[in-house]
Every structure is written in C-alpha cells, then in structure tokens.
Amino acid sequence: MGLFNCGSETEHWGWLCDDESPWRVLSKTSERNLFDIISELAGNESLPRKMVEDADFEHGPIFVHEGAEIGTNVRFEGPIYVEEGAEIRHGAYLRPGTYVSRGCVVGHCTEIKNTLMLPFSKAPHFNYVGDSILGFKVNLGAGAKISNVRLDRKSIIIQLPDRVKVDTNLRKFGALIGDESEIGCNVVTNPGSVIPPNSAIPPNAVVTGLWIN
C-alpha cells in the first residue's frame, strides 16, 4: 500500500509494506495478529513488576524493555510489548494488543488499544488510539482521537490510496496513518480512515475515508 517504511527501521514489521491488507494484523482471528505476535515475542521476558514504579499490571504477557522510560501510575493490560527507548508517560493506559516501538511516546492520559506504533511515532498528549497502525515518525497533536467503531456498529469499509473501496470485515478499526504524517490538535479520524505518508492535517479537522492533501 506504500504507507509504511520498508527499511530496517521497522524491525519485525517490514512485511507490512508488501501486504495488500495490513489491517489484518488488527483482527484477532487473523493468522498473524497483534495479540499473537506480541505473545510470541514477549514469551517469558516480562519485566518484573517491582522494577516499574507505581505501574499497574493486568493479564499478560507484558514485556517492557529495561531501556524504556516508564512514568508513574501507568496501567498495562497485556498482551503488550514496549521496546527499548520508548517513553510511557505518567497516567498512560495501554490496553491489550499494544505494541510500542523504540523512540515512541505514549503521553499523559493517552489510551492505546490493539495498535501498532512504528518507530518514533508519538501520541503524547491526551490521545485515544484504537485498532490502528501509526507509521514511522507519525505525530498526533494534543487531543487527537482515532475513533474505531461506527455508530451503527457495521463492519468498516475503507478507501485505499488507489481509490478502491474494501470491506475489512472488522467492526473495530481506527486508522492507517502513513509515515511522517502530522495530525493537528483535536483532530478526529472516523473509523477506517487512511492517511497517506507525509500528510499534514490541520487542527480540529474531521477525517473520513481517504485523506487527500
């Protein structure tokens, strides 16, 4: 689809570049989904709870690299994987199926759920990100929300960069945000949004379907 970096920066995720349906990683019934991948990578390497001050752990497996920076009063609900060099700030809420790559920031009062954050992507200030893929060096402005469920609860249809529409057969699916995109403050993306690389979305915008710069 051409949304994500295919180089070494993506570590385990280079295959996303050649996958015609990268959103399949968000489906729990998919052969290679985030829950399975995280569980496989984490194994028995979970960081002892006593090493993270005031963190609240539930379920598992949960792997937090010793080189990650973890603030106080963070809640983790596994499966979760946090790489070296990631920063999880005070009061963040990481829900099941969250993969945070190196250099990423999950900020104060930010909630992340069933989401892949590729290297150096940031959700730093009061964000909600559900069932999504954030590309390399994506930045969400303060208060940006990635909505993941239609009001009518029907499966989510997306429009690809070539303008073809596809039924994802997912009831919960937020957004695919291409590399190095900037999302302005208080932006809301509707379920199934597709944002090409290097996009710049102005503050307070509402994104539906394929974003055209």
- The residue from 12, 65, 108, 125 that is catalytic is 125
Listed in sequence order, the residues at least 6 apart from 62 whose beta carbon sits closer than 8 Å to its beta carbon are 42, 46, 47, 76, 78, 79, 80
Strands 56-58 and 182-183: unpaired
Phi and psi at residue 200, in whole multiples of 5°?
-130, 110
Residue 65 appears among annotated catalytic residues: no
Phi-psi region of 72 (alpha: psi -120 to 50; beta: other; left: phi over 0): beta
Q: Is the dihedral of CA 183, 189, 15, 64 positive or negative?
A: positive
The CA–CA distances, whole Å, from 150 to 137, 196, 197, 209 equal 27, 22, 24, 12
Listed in sequence order, the residues at least 6 apart from 164 whose beta carbon sits closer than 8 Å to its beta carbon are none
Question: By the 8 A CB rule, do 183 and 166 touch?
Answer: no
* Tokens standing for residue 77: 């609900």
Q: Which residues have a catalytic role annotated?
A: 125
